[in-house]
Amino acid sequence: MHTRYDFSNRWGIVTGAASGIGKATALLLAASQAGLALVDRDASGLAAVVRACEGKGTTAPLAIEADVSRRSDVQHMVAATGERFGRIDFLVTSAGVLFRTPFTEIPMAEWDALMDTNVRGLFMCNQLVVRAMLEQGGGTIVNVASVAGRSISLIGGVHYCASKHAVIGITRHMARELCTRGIRANAFCPGATHTPMIHDNMDAEAIKGLEKRIALGRLAEPEEHARVIAFMLSDAASYLNGACLDANGGSVML
């Protein structure tokens, strides 16, 4: 049996909630009695996750269709969550995009599109949520980075790798600047995982090759990462601040 934390009387936001790690985190937090605002630009996928979360917890989740690269959408996300729940106790930023274009062939439009979501969007989500958290006296943030932010990316291009290094840098700076004001911020660095992002970009043979580069010999399941994120949000991690917690199956060892 896996540990399940008690998030009753805690309310927060999960971006990228329609699939992958964000979806798994949403389902686990809902089952742990958290009040959730679930955010994604995929309206149909988001609706399916909201239905799956309903009945797991005591509070029906709030669905917010939003593109985190648009400031107006992020402003709406924060305002709607505050209006629904009265406060924002936690934020999980799981929204992200990946492209595999080789270094010399990346067009600037593609670079900008990736950075707009993975860096600019993450920054805006953090900045606007932190403003709300400071007004209420604190909160907890987990920014989903990647093993790519600790080393290189085995899947994405250089722009993906650069964006995840940026996520870690943003998180560490936030942690140092905000910890005395009641806010803990940490980065989570997952390795290759069975998510649509992987399966949309790699065929079965390529995934088998990737598994050979992981010490555990397999990709992670999203639910395994959700359990780590829940721990990072929980009071059990009360002294965890400015950390980069890795869950990569030992891929950096090979």
The active-site residue out of 11, 123, 160, 188 is 160
DSSP-based three-state secondary structure for 170: helix
DSSP-based three-state secondary structure for 65: strand
| Alpha-carbon torsion angle 194, 243, 114, 62, nearest 10 | 70
Q: Give the integer Cα–Cα distance in Å for 239 and 58.
A: 28
Q: Give the integer Cα–Cα distance in Å for 94 and 98.
A: 13
> For 79, left (φ over 0), alpha (ψ -120 to 50), or beta?
alpha
- 5 given a catalytic annotation: no
Question: Which of 181, 164, 176 is CA-nearest to residue 130?
Answer: 181
Q: Give the integer Cα–Cα distance in Å for 48 and 131.
A: 30
For residue 144, give Cα distances in angstroms to 44, 94, 103, 217. Answer: 23, 5, 24, 23
Q: Please, what is the Cα angle at 39 between 133 and 173, to 5 degrees?
A: 40
The DSSP annotation for 11-51 comes to: EEEEESTTSHHHHHHHHHHHHTT-EEEEEES-HHHHHHHHH
Q: Give the integer Cα–Cα distance in Å for 162 and 185.
A: 20
Catalytic annotation, residues: 160
